[in-house]
Each structure stands twice: as C-alpha cells, then as structure tokens.
Amino acid sequence: MITHPSRHCAVELQALPSRIGQVRRIVSAQLRYWHMDSLIDRASLGVTELLSNVHRHAQPDKTCTVEIELLLDRLKVSVRDHDPRLPVLADAGPLATCGRGLAMVAAMSESWGAVPDGESGKVVWFTLPTPAATTAPAWDRRPRITADEPAGHRFAEVALVDRALDDHHPDRAPARTTVPG
C-alpha cells in the first residue's frame, strides 16, 4: 500500500488506562490535521478497544506502538505489541462484562485482522474508508438497500427520476414503482 511520509503517525506507549486517553486525543488531533474529522469517532473507538486488549492480555509487558496511516482510499490503524498470541473474536454472552472489543472493531471497520510480527509479537489492525472513498460518483447516486435495514422498509422496486439519466437513455420507459399508494 502506498503512503506519503506526512500521512503516517506512530506513538509508542505503555497500554495503561491513563495513556489510552492520551492516544485517543493524539489520533483525533492527527485526523483533524488530515481533514478526516468524520473518521474520529470510529478510529478513537477502535484504537481504544485494541489498546484495552493490550492492557488486559499482552505479556510479557504492556509496551506497544500505535500507527495510523492515511492511504489512498482508507485509514489504517494498527497496534503492535510484544505478545505473539493472536486475538480471538469471542462471542460474549448477554451478561458478560467484557469480550466485545474485537466484535465492535469488526462491526465499525471496513476490515480488520491480526498478523504475527516476528517471533515475539503481533500487529492487530483495522481500516476505515476515507470520506473521498465513500462518496458515490454523481452517475452512481441510486438508493441502496443494506442488510442493516429492517425488512419492513424494503421495496420491490424504487423509482428514481433523474434528468441526467433520462438525457442519456431517451428510449427508456418512465420509471414506475410497485409500492401501492
């Protein structure tokens, strides 16, 4: 992946609760500097969860490095520690007081993973699409149905009237909907 030197930030720290808040503020400030304010909440949540895992599980020490990289179309946040054990995405029960961190990272990120880092460590990372990467081009602004929508809000067909679309395809019939009313 291609990154520009000014599009990379790394911080080494002890993953202690007091330091986790500092790193969150550093990540937020860096994203503001890069004009990526819309990513601050998700990046802060993700880095908090990864650092909390280092604090809770990493052995022999809590030393780690947080890196954020602004790539061409995504932000990559990674945490490198000295514990070679790879994390496992757990299925926390409804009454569990912990064990949901990686599930939250997986849910709010574009992708995530963990890879060994030499013989004595690992890197856990996640990516977020940058705002420029998530903006649909003008020709592709159609309603989208996502898996997160309740089934009651889905339509068999959605009509989209767009003057530019009609100009390009004058032989098409007018759009109609199957939704009653």
pLDDT score for 116: 95
Run of H or E residues at 68: strand 63-71
Q: Given a cut of 70, is residue 1 above it in pLDDT?
A: no
For residues 105 and 145, the model is more confident at 105
Q: What band does 94 get if pLDDT is binned at 50, 70 and 90?
A: confident
Helix (H, G, I), strand (E, B) or coil at 78: strand
For residues 151 and 86, the model is more confident at 86
Report the distance separating Cα 40 and Cα 109, nearest Å: 12
Beta carbons of 160 and 175 less than 8 angstroms apart: yes
Q: How is residue 34 annotated by DSSP?
A: T
DSSP assignment of 83-135: --PPP------TT-SS--HHHHHHHHSSEEEEEE-TTS-EEEEEEEE-HHHHS
pLDDT score for 134: 57
Q: What band does 155 get if pLDDT is binned at 50, 70 and 90?
A: very low
Q: Given a cut of 90, is residue 69 above it in pLDDT?
A: yes
Q: Given a cut of 70, is residue 28 above it in pLDDT?
A: yes
- % residues pLDDT > 90 (the chain): 51
Q: What band does 29 get if pLDDT is binned at 50, 70 and 90?
A: very high
Which of 104, 110, 100, 58 lies closest to 79 in space, CA to CA?
A: 58
116-150 residue pLDDT tens: 998 889 999 999 999 876 554 444 444 444 445 44
For residues 159 and 121, the model is more confident at 121
Run of H or E residues at 17: helix 17-33
